[in-house]
Amino acid sequence: MSEVENTSFEECLQRLMTSLEASLYEEATSQLSDLHAAEIARLLESVPPKDRIKLWLNIDSATQGDILKDLSEDVLSQLLNEMSVDGIVKATEGLDMDDLADIVPELPESALHNLLLTLDHKHRDHLKQVLSYPEDSAGGLMNIDIITVRDDVNVRTVIRYLRLLKEMPIDTDQVFVVDRTYKYIGSIHISTLLTNEAEQNIKPLINKEHKPILASTPESDVASLFEQRDLISAPVVDDNNQLIGRITIDDVVDVIRDEAEHSVMSMAGLDEEDDVFAPVIESTKSRSIWLGVNLITVFVAVFFIGLFEATLQEKIALAVLMPVVASMGGIAGTQTLILVTRGIATGRVTTSNLKVLMNKEVAIGLLNGMLWSVVIGLATYLWFSDLILSLVIATAIVVNLIFAAFSGAFLPSLLIKFKIDPALAGGVILTTITDVIGFVAFLGLASLVV
Amino acid sequence: MSEVENTSFEECLQRLMTSLEASLYEEATSQLSDLHAAEIARLLESVPPKDRIKLWLNIDSATQGDILKDLSEDVLSQLLNEMSVDGIVKATEGLDMDDLADIVPELPESALHNLLLTLDHKHRDHLKQVLSYPEDSAGGLMNIDIITVRDDVNVRTVIRYLRLLKEMPIDTDQVFVVDRTYKYIGSIHISTLLTNEAEQNIKPLINKEHKPILASTPESDVASLFEQRDLISAPVVDDNNQLIGRITIDDVVDVIRDEAEHSVMSMAGLDEEDDVFAPVIESTKSRSIWLGVNLITVFVAVFFIGLFEATLQEKIALAVLMPVVASMGGIAGTQTLILVTRGIATGRVTTSNLKVLMNKEVAIGLLNGMLWSVVIGLATYLWFSDLILSLVIATAIVVNLIFAAFSGAFLPSLLIKFKIDPALAGGVILTTITDVIGFVAFLGLASLVV
């Protein structure tokens, strides 16, 4: 850990790329040896797939295991495919159940079978339990390395028990109190054990303020909870209130980071789990889908232009200026769209305050429409010395900005109702709307007065 | 804490909005009373400013303090402006130094003066120290509630000392070991204290593996460190290696969330600290700047259309189809732009692998250009039965998609060199480039052959 972390990462990558470009694979591998697994994971994601595989096969099994849990899906699946079944079993031996459960979906069938055979009965049951919940739920996120105590003992007994364990699982900030049927009662922060006298009975020390998390809770709700309550770990129970695991902050940080990456990447139809250095053909395929969707929407928009061919023929300045109307509507609408989409995602915007927000956004659209219609009208007059054209474009701007605000505010919750991710589809649909309204308002008005 | 957290937040907001719309302010305030401070903060951010102030003034000082640290800048500053100096002093009394330091920049001058007077000498010095570092550095993020021990004692002594403290600061997962000049030596995880025998000398238990964080480290680097090492807390030292504080995971989670919000919001020129329900005039002003920037860029683009008025006059279908070329380039370029911008932000893309990535992106641009030029050429032929027009648009698509990939890959690092945030300016500049190249390629080619 050092204050020059990022610079040194850049230097590491620089040196690694130099070695790889010179095909010095042994030297490259040795450069990785002193690094933290998370850093090696990041370096592997930062080099082209061919070099990545060469590096990977030179890394020892124990380190491979630690690296696996930090890789994005795409790269993870690529590297697992290059490994022997034995290699996979060896590498995944020491992993936590939740990390193992994340890797399982990417495993080849044969490797999964052999892996299950290496686990003892108890661990196999635990893995099956974690896998029985969706990957993006509290159950899929939880780990099973919990420390439990009964409520009829004193501080000394608990500490003696902990000393017997020799060490505690990472991120253990609390031990959980359960009854004899393993039903959750509450938790005791380990600092409480240190600051209380040895003879103190633990009953009054038990924290019962917070309810445990149900295994079926979606991971985004788990993340909100951790953020709001500043938690380090939290107990997870099944439908019978039986303690089955705990979620730790490190996994929640990954959820938060992934959610954030998702909302940025999906704006361009990208997947946050994709390999940045995926092969050209693969990337071309995945990108082309988004281009195809966009092509359909842009053909919808230009179809409306086609309706006004005669008007355009009469006044070619309309053709020159029409992108201005469409573009201003698109920008204004996107501002509202992103504001509302993020507001919904962070819970600040719900059906109960959407109407207030929509009124506000439409008012902003009206005001900005009036402001910029004057500027654009003047600019048009200076360019084409055509008063009617200037008035037409000014009016079209106001109309489009009002509709843009309305659509931007309305669209996210409409898409959510149809189970469509607004971060993914919102932008494309919105700009189609603002393009069409912009073209129709501008050219339609012009056709009436030209 | 419950599994229906989000639903219940929505219900809370629903009930609150109903009370507020009926002007039942006392009822509304009482609805807040049982909630966690973080939830009240979120509710306050979710109601219009006028109602927010009325609710705020009914909340007791202690709760106000806890809420203040969870508010976004814009809302924080609004509420502080409504409070009396006494009220502010009372509300901020119990806050941690790092939280207090976050609030200070938003405080009215007179309140800051009185606040400093209420602090004792030691706390005033601490606050000044935290304030002496930039808000977005490790120093600005740190808290001073550290527990330190010397290295010549045994486990029993440390535990006895901790018992004397009665309780430990929140998120205390380790105590720090310093020498007699307060220079940092290492840390001991508190679980280590619980799992070792009382007579054990602490020296061999000291973890010296990780270097402490320098106070001047940028907060984004701090966040990467926490993520990579799965930390709960980390020590902060000044330039002389003297321990001055610690950073805890809860503040790091806020950094990660803010960074993520920033990268989404700035794509539409929005500020993540802005109040969603800011007054219409204020929002209109802040949004209009972005619209103005866009207007300039779109006028640059249409200026190039204007150069081809004669060509357009000759074949009006060009006017109808030109948005297709511009739009496809914009979408393809944005895909590359977002991929590279996020890659740089997460450290996966640096100068050493940018060239490899750029080659890959240009190859994708070429392939997707060829693919979609065939589709668009055919569609054009079906619509206008004009072979030359079809060939012209197909060629323009290929040209624009190649340039789009090149610009999208090149732009982020160029902007960073000029200290411009690529998440903010990248999209606007890129679409200007793809618009201009799209229009010039399409209309220019057409002018040669029509």
φ and ψ at residue B243, rounded to 5 degrees? -70, 120
Spatial separation of the C-alpha atoms in residues B409 and B342, rounded to whole Å: 11
Write down the pLDDT at residue A12.
86
Spatial separation of the C-alpha atoms in residues A51 and A43, rounded to whole Å: 11
pLDDT for residue B290 is more than 50: yes
Taking CB atoms and an 8 Å limit, are A226 and B253 in contact across chains? Answer: yes
What confidence category does residue B84 fall into, taking pLDDT thresholds of 50, 70 and 90?
confident
What confidence category does residue B4 fall into, taking pLDDT thresholds of 50, 70 and 90?
very low
* Domains of chain A listed by start with CATH number: 5-132 (1.25.60.10), 148-248 (3.10.580.10), 280-449 (1.10.357.20)
Spatial separation of the C-alpha atoms in residues A171 and A190, rounded to whole Å: 11
> CB contact, 8 Å: A328 with chain B?
yes
Write down the pLDDT at residue B251.
87
**Minimal Cα distance from A309: which residue of B?**
B316
Taking CB atoms and an 8 Å limit, are B287 and A5 in contact across chains? Answer: no
Taking CB atoms and an 8 Å limit, are B13 and A290 in contact across chains? Answer: no
Taking CB atoms and an 8 Å limit, are A351 and B1 in contact across chains? Answer: no
B110–chain A nearest CA distance, Å: 31
Cα radius of gyration rounded to whole Å, chain A: 29
Taking CB atoms and an 8 Å limit, are A291 and B327 in contact across chains? Answer: no
Residue pair A364/A398 in contact (Cβ under 8 Å)? The answer is no
C-alpha dihedral sign at A395, A397, A400, A405:
negative
B443–chain A nearest CA distance, Å: 12
What confidence category does residue A275 fall into, taking pLDDT thresholds of 50, 70 and 90?
confident
Nearest Cβ partner for A227 among B168, B253, B259: B253
Mean pLDDT, rounded, for B124-141: 86
Taking CB atoms and an 8 Å limit, are B6 and A194 in contact across chains? Answer: no
**Minimal Cα distance from A307: which residue of B?**
B320
Write down the pLDDT at residue B440.
97
Spatial separation of the C-alpha atoms in residues B399 and A359, rounded to whole Å: 43
Taking CB atoms and an 8 Å limit, are A264 and B269 in contact across chains? Answer: no
Max mean pLDDT range (A272-286, A391-405, B102-116, B183-197): A391-405
Structure tokens at A189: 């922060």
pLDDT for residue A375 is more than 50: yes
> CB contact, 8 Å: B182 with chain A?
no
What's the Cα-to-Cα distance from B9 to each of A217, A219, B76, B349, rounded to whole Å? 15, 16, 21, 39
Q: How many CB pairs under 8 A join A and B?
A: 392
Sheet holding B243-248, edge to edge: B213-214, B233-237, B243-248
Beta bridge partners of B429: none
- For residue B143, the 8-state DSSP code is B
- Chain A positions in Cβ-Cβ contact with residue B160 (cut-off 8 Å): none
Taking CB atoms and an 8 Å limit, are B276 and A343 in contact across chains? Answer: yes
What confidence category does residue B322 fall into, taking pLDDT thresholds of 50, 70 and 90?
very high
Write down the pLDDT at residue B5.
42
> CB contact, 8 Å: B170 with chain A?
yes
Percent with pLDDT over 70 in chain A: 98
In the numeric block, the tokens 């962070």 are attached to A346
User: Which residues, at least 6 apart from B98, have a Cβ–Cβ distance to it below 8 Å?
Assistant: B130, B140, B141, B142, B143, B144, B245, B251
Mean pLDDT, rounded, for A381-402: 97
> CB contact, 8 Å: A112 with chain B?
no
Mean pLDDT, rounded, for B147-176: 88
Which range has the worst mean pLDDT, A239-248, B11-20, B327-336? B11-20
What confidence category does residue A185 fall into, taking pLDDT thresholds of 50, 70 and 90?
very high
CA A437 to chain centroid, in Å, comes to: 33
Nearest Cβ partner for B372 among A224, A283, A291: A291
Mean pLDDT, rounded, for B153-157: 92
**Minimal Cα distance from A270: which residue of B?**
B335
Spatial separation of the C-alpha atoms in residues A17 and A2, rounded to whole Å: 22
Mean pLDDT, rounded, for A421-448: 94
Taking CB atoms and an 8 Å limit, are B194 and A352 in contact across chains? Answer: no
Mean per-residue pLDDT of chain A: 89
Write down the pLDDT at residue A389.
96
Spatial separation of the C-alpha atoms in residues B294 and B289, rounded to whole Å: 9
Spatial separation of the C-alpha atoms in residues A391 and A90, rounded to whole Å: 74
Nearest Cβ partner for B367 among A225, A280, A323: A280
Q: Which residue has the higher pLDDT, A9 or A316?
A: A316
Write down the pLDDT at residue A5.
42
Q: Which residue has the higher pLDDT, A263 or B407?
A: B407
Which range has the worst mean pLDDT, A431-445, B8-22, B388-402? B8-22
Q: Which residue has the higher pLDDT, A390 or B256?
A: A390
In the numeric block, the tokens 């939280």 are attached to B99
Taking CB atoms and an 8 Å limit, are B312 and A298 in contact across chains? Answer: no
- What angle do helix axes B5-21 and B25-32 make, rounded to 10 degrees? 160
The model's pLDDT over A349-365, given as tens digits with 9 standing for 90+, comes to 988 889 999 999 999 99
What confidence category does residue A166 fall into, taking pLDDT thresholds of 50, 70 and 90?
confident
Taking CB atoms and an 8 Å limit, are A194 and B305 in contact across chains? Answer: no
Taking CB atoms and an 8 Å limit, are B364 and A287 in contact across chains? Answer: yes
Taking CB atoms and an 8 Å limit, are B260 and A259 in contact across chains? Answer: yes
Residue pair A175/A188 in contact (Cβ under 8 Å)? The answer is yes
Taking CB atoms and an 8 Å limit, are B232 and A372 in contact across chains? Answer: no
Kindly report the three-state secondary structure assignment for every residue of chain A.
CCCCHHHHHHHHHHHHHHHHHCCCHHHHHHHHCCCCHHHHHHHHHCCCHHHHHHHHCCCCHHHHHHHHCCCCHHHHHHHHHHCCHHHHHHHHCCCCHHHHHHHHHHCCHHHHHHHHHHCCHHHHHHHHHHHCCCCCEHHHHCECCCCEECCCCEHHHHHHHHHHHCCCCCCCCEEEEECCCCEEEEEEEHHHHHHCCCCCECHHHCECCCCCEECCCEHHHHHHHHHHHCCCEEEEECCCCEEEEEEEHHHHHHHHHHHHHHHHHHHHCCCCCCCCCCCHHHHHHHHHHHHHHHHHHHHHHHHHHHCCHHHHHHCCHHHHHHHHHHHHHHHHHHHHHHHHHHHHHCCCCCHHHHHHHHHHHHHHHHHHHHHHHHHHHHHHHHHHCCHHHHHHHHHHHHHHHHHHHHHHHHHHHHHHHCCCCHHHHHHHHHHHHHHHHHHHHHHHHHHHHC
Residue pair B45/B76 in contact (Cβ under 8 Å)? The answer is no
pLDDT for residue B401 is more than 70: yes
Taking CB atoms and an 8 Å limit, are B288 and A194 in contact across chains? Answer: no
Taking CB atoms and an 8 Å limit, are A368 and B301 in contact across chains? Answer: no
Nearest Cβ partner for B10 among A226, A316, A350: A350
- Chain B positions in Cβ-Cβ contact with residue A343 (cut-off 8 Å): 276
- Chain A positions in Cβ-Cβ contact with residue B228 (cut-off 8 Å): 36, 38-39, 42
Mean per-residue pLDDT of chain B: 89
Write down the pLDDT at residue B99.
82
Question: Which of B194, B217, B315, B413 to mutate to test binding with chain A, by most A CBs within 10 Å of its CB?
Answer: B194
Write down the pLDDT at residue A4.
38
A107–chain B nearest CA distance, Å: 24
Structure tokens at A48: 């082209």
pLDDT for residue B361 is more than 90: yes
Write down the pLDDT at residue B227.
84
φ and ψ at residue A287, rounded to 5 degrees? -70, -30
The model's pLDDT over B208-235, given as tens digits with 9 standing for 90+, comes to 988 899 999 999 889 988 988 888 899 9
In B28-87, the residues whose Cβ lies within 8 Å of chain A are: 36, 38-39, 42, 45-48
Mean pLDDT, rounded, for A275-291: 90
The model's pLDDT over A63-110, given as tens digits with 9 standing for 90+, comes to 898 899 888 888 998 899 888 888 888 888 878 777 888 888 888 777
A303–chain B nearest CA distance, Å: 8
Nearest Cβ partner for A348 among B1, B45, B335: B45
What confidence category does residue B2 fall into, taking pLDDT thresholds of 50, 70 and 90?
very low
> CB contact, 8 Å: A208 with chain B?
no
Percent with pLDDT over 90 in chain B: 50
What confidence category does residue A2 fall into, taking pLDDT thresholds of 50, 70 and 90?
very low
A183–chain B nearest CA distance, Å: 16
Q: Is the ipTM of this complex over 0.95?
A: no
Write down the pLDDT at residue B332.
95
* A355 C-beta neighbours (distance < 10 Å), count: 11
Taking CB atoms and an 8 Å limit, are A42 and B348 in contact across chains? Answer: yes
- For residue B137, the 8-state DSSP code is B
Spatial separation of the C-alpha atoms in residues A219 and A227, rounded to whole Å: 12
The model's pLDDT over B6-39, given as tens digits with 9 standing for 90+, comes to 447 788 888 898 898 888 888 888 888 888 888 8
User: Which residues, at least 6 apart from A165, have a Cβ–Cβ distance to it below 8 Å?
Assistant: A147, B195
Spatial separation of the C-alpha atoms in residues A26 and A54, rounded to whole Å: 9
Q: What angle do CA A254, A255, A261 make, to 5 degrees?
A: 85
Max mean pLDDT range (A96-100, A113-117, B66-70, B292-296): B292-296
> CB contact, 8 Å: B162 with chain A?
yes
Which range has the worst mean pLDDT, A85-94, A272-281, B83-92, B114-123? B114-123
**Minimal Cα distance from B334: which residue of A?**
A268
Question: Which of A191, A220, A432 to mutate to test binding with chain B, by most B CBs within 10 Å of its CB?
Answer: A191
pLDDT for residue A1 is more than 80: no
**Minimal Cα distance from B18: which residue of A?**
A352
Question: Which of A45, A155, A241, A316 to mutate to test binding with chain B, by most B CBs within 10 Å of its CB?
Answer: A316
Taking CB atoms and an 8 Å limit, are B368 and A9 in contact across chains? Answer: no
**Minimal Cα distance from A256: which residue of B?**
B257
What confidence category does residue B412 fall into, taking pLDDT thresholds of 50, 70 and 90?
very high
Write down the pLDDT at residue B3.
37
B42–chain A nearest CA distance, Å: 6
